[in-house]
Structure 1
Amino acid sequence: MRIGTSRSVGLLTGIALAVASLGAVSGCGSQKAVASSSDKLTDRARQVAKAWDGSTAADAWRADYHPMGEVVQLPRGGLHSPADRQAYMDQNFDLRGKLPVTWPENGQVTWAAGKPLTRPLIGADESYRNLAGGRPEGKPPLTVTGVKLGEMRVATTRGPATVPAWLFTLDGYATPLKQAAIMQAAIPQSPISPASDIPGLPLNRLIRITEDGRSVTVVAVHGVCDDEPEVDVFETTGSVVLWASVAERGDKGNCTKQGKLQQVTVKLGHSVSDRVLLDALTGQPVPYKGLAGLPPSGS
């Protein structure tokens, strides 16, 4: 087993949110308690790892389809212009072609090793709604001229997988925008309850695992009057347990009960591989969400 610490590496530009519970559990003046309770947090991480290692929940997590990378891929080479990139971030799409009206009920997820998995498909209409949630007035949209079922590669808890995907042909682009069409599996019930006596907030999300699996980037929440967050890690052969802590700044000035989201990169002793990436406070897998509001990498 291994315990380590990493420092934050940069703010998510433009992202700040009011957190209703921040003043009670982590905001200005109270994150000091988080920083001073490292022993309790480390003990909690050990308990979470012990509960998950060898559990039926861990077996279910590894066996099912849980994306750990982007489920949307842009056309090859990315989007052409700032206007197109803004349209994508704004979910500003214009459908000029017709959506398919029929599709298979299920599709297969296949890995390089192991048995394929059959999962329900997301329909073309729902997939398009997931892309095109907004229509800002007066701004040029991305025009969809055709939609068909194809496939794409997605990083998962079992390694890279090939999955069915809806391919959206965009006006002016030679290759399609792809969105995975396989429904994600439900998170298995955790074998351990959330912590109720430890101050702090759960990690907001996982946004990146390096190709070699030796480094993960997560998003932590901290108060506007606090120092930058640290994310500590406790590793076993079956689990990687993470938790965030911050120290209160001495020159806090006029403090408000607000929180900031901040990227923190954590270096691991060994590759994540098929280990379960867990949040010490919730006792649940850290959810993958990517960089919400920012374009994903190209296909």
Structure 2
Amino acid sequence: MSFFKTTMLLGLMTGLLMVIGGLLGGSRGVVIFFVIAAVMNFFSYWFSDKIVLRAYGAQELDAASAPELYSIVNELAHSAAIPMPRLYLIDSDTPNAFATGRNTHHAAVAVTRGIMRICTREELKGVIGHELSHVTNHDILTSSIAATMAGAVMMIGTMVRWGAIFGLGGRDNEEGGLPGLLVAGILAPIAATLIQLAISRTREYQADASGAALTHNPLYLASALRKLEAANERLPMDASPATAHLFIVNPLSAKGMSRLFSTHPPIEERIHRLEQMSSGQIGQG
């Protein structure tokens, strides 16, 4: 299923870029953007994790630099029967975390300085259990590729809009022309949003349940989620909308109408489900 979703995402991205290329330059634009898409697909598959980690200035940690966190990750990775993932620190006071990589043998977990400061050992176990469940559930590749692609599409959209503003589209009767620039400039950010929405909210519920089973205590994660939601509301993270879906809680403001387009399910519902698991009302994992 993970391979199918990844293939579909790569195909969708290729198709969208070819449409944008056609609007900009007709048949010639389709060919050019097909080549761009092929290069993007290659780099997204092999290097999406490195791109995301570098975007947040993540620094690798080891047992010496973060002994408690390292021991938690090592313990849970052993319980999950997966190799110890690489561990990274993001220098941000906003508490959050994400997992990335293309498979269980090339996985990484990144945490912010803020989450290490405000969470207890048990709460950190809940968070790490959730992130390792993304690894074992095989959805980190799709999420990492989506982040890379959404960022690229948003960048293309920005370039196209500036091109339209400065009249780089040429005459209206040429292939593409100014109308093509305007349409493509509007289409690109919409395409990035669609890529974001393709990352189903259900994966967060699944990772919550699997993480609860891994740590044997759903309330560890429930307690952490309460702290993370409150802290992110007070101090939103300087995060890119293209990568927001990677984090355990939405690092961006998700109020009003924007909640309808959030890649994360409501925190209160996630906590409610975890509490039901703890009381035995619903099964774990």
Question: TM-score, length-normalised on structure 2?
Answer: 0.28
Q: Which has the higher helix share?
A: 2
The structure with the greater share of residues assigned to strand is: 1
Structure of greater relative contact order (alpha carbons < 8 Å, 6+ residues apart): 1
